[in-house]
């Protein structure tokens, strides 16, 4: 090895263990500091991303409210997922014009998060992938920046196409798969269909007129 002088104390188990422990401690401390330093910025960036994605699935002209402010939470009993689902509502006055929420599909390399915008008529306004870990070059075509594929959901509803059509072409459906990646689009199609079914099942709750909350009322008075 490189060291000429290798003092005997270094051969002791204690030194080795201490060295490893010390490095682990320093590494853990650095990671904690890194996490603290970046956490707020990352949360901010995520909120910006979410707003940008929301603007893509609900046309800004359709609402006059802050999408992040007038949200609705669906309890675990309403969805198959175990967590609560946040519904972003596009309001004009108090009338719901569209809703957007996140659906999750099980992709090739973990969950694929899709933001789905649905008009009150049950038609899809837009769908965008928020996050995924699919194979670069194959499965990442679900991102709108790389491929137009995700736009093929626009204007679709549960009746259009018929239930049989809600699958990739390989399974006899309407939607294209990618060469080399069938699991990824299959998961997205399934997730989007699940979102539509959820909307259909809970339509009354989702499209009920917004209740004026105290904060919103104060806001109105100020205007």
Partner 1 sequence: MATTDKDLQTPKTDWARIAKDGIWDNNVVLAQALALCPLLAVTGTATNGLGLGLATTFVLVQSGFLVSVLRGIITPQVRIPVFVLIIATLVTLVDLAMNAWMHDLHKVLGLFIPLIVTNCAILGRAESFAFRNRALPAAFDGLMMGVGFTLVLVAVGAMREIIGSGTLFANASMLLGDAMGFLELTLIPDYRGFLLMMLPPGGFIALGVLLAGKRVLDRRLADKPLAAQGQRPSAEGQGAVV
Looking at the Cβ atoms of 108 and 203, the one nearer to partner 1 is 108
Check residue 109 and report its DSSP letter: T
CB of 7 to partner 1, least distance (A): 6
Nearest alpha-carbon partner for 71 in 99, 93, 47: 99
Looking at the Cβ atoms of 31 and 217, the one nearer to partner 1 is 31
> Which single residue is written with the structure tokens 């800004």?
60
Looking at the Cβ atoms of 47 and 217, the one nearer to partner 1 is 47
Looking at the Cβ atoms of 136 and 172, the one nearer to partner 1 is 136
Looking at the Cβ atoms of 52 and 94, the one nearer to partner 1 is 52
Label residues 146-159 b or e (16+ Cβ within 10 Å = b).
eeebbeebeebebe
CB of 172 to partner 1, least distance (A): 21
CA distance 97 to 5: 76
CA distance 100 to 79: 15
The encoded tokens of residue 220 equal 């109105």
CA distance 127 to 56: 8
CB of 186 to partner 1, least distance (A): 17
Looking at the Cβ atoms of 93 and 180, the one nearer to partner 1 is 180
Which residues are at the interface with partner 1 (CB under 8 A)? 1-7, 10-11, 15-16, 19-20, 23-24, 27, 30-31, 34-35, 37-38, 41-42, 45, 48-49, 133, 135-138, 140, 145-146, 179-180
CB of 81 to partner 1, least distance (A): 24
Please list the alpha-helical segments (H only) found in the chain: 13-57, 183-201, 203-207, 214-222
CB of 202 to partner 1, least distance (A): 32
- Find residue 131's DSSP bridge partners: 113
User: Please, are residues 197 and 158 in contact by the beta-carbon 8 Å criterion?
Assistant: yes
CB of 83 to partner 1, least distance (A): 23
CB of 212 to partner 1, least distance (A): 36
Looking at the Cβ atoms of 56 and 65, the one nearer to partner 1 is 56
Residue 91: Cβ within 10 Å count: 20
Edge-to-edge strands of the sheet including 95-107? 71-74, 85-92, 95-107, 110-119, 124-131
């Amino acid at each position: 090895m490189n060291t000429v002088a290798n003092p005997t104390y270094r051969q002791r188990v204690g030194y080795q263990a201490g060295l490893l422990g010390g490095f682990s401690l320093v590494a853990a401390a650095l990671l904690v500091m890194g996490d603290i330093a970046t956490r707020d910025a990352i949360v901010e960036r995520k909120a910006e991303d979410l707003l940008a994605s929301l603007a893509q699935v609900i046309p800004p002209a359709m609402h006059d409210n802050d999408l992040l402010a007038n949200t609705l939470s669906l309890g675990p009993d309403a969805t198959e997922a175990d967590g609560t689902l946040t519904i972003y509502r596009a309001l004009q006055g108090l009338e719901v014009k569209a809703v957007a929420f996140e659906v999750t599909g099980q992709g090739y390399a973990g969950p694929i998060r899709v933001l789905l915008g649905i008009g009150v008529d049950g038609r899809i306004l837009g769908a965008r992938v928020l996050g995924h870990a699919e194979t670069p070059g194959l499965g990442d075509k679900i991102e709108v920046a790389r491929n137009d594929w995700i736009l093929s959901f626009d204007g679709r509803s549960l009746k259009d196409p018929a239930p049989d059509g809600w699958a990739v072409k390989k399974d006899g459906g309407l939607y294209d798969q990618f060469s080399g990646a069938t699991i990824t689009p299959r998961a997205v199609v399934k997730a989007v269909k699940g979102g539509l079914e959820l909307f259909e099942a809970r339509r009354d709750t989702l499209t009920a007129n917004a209740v004026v909350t105290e904060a919103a009322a104060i806001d109105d008075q100020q205007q």
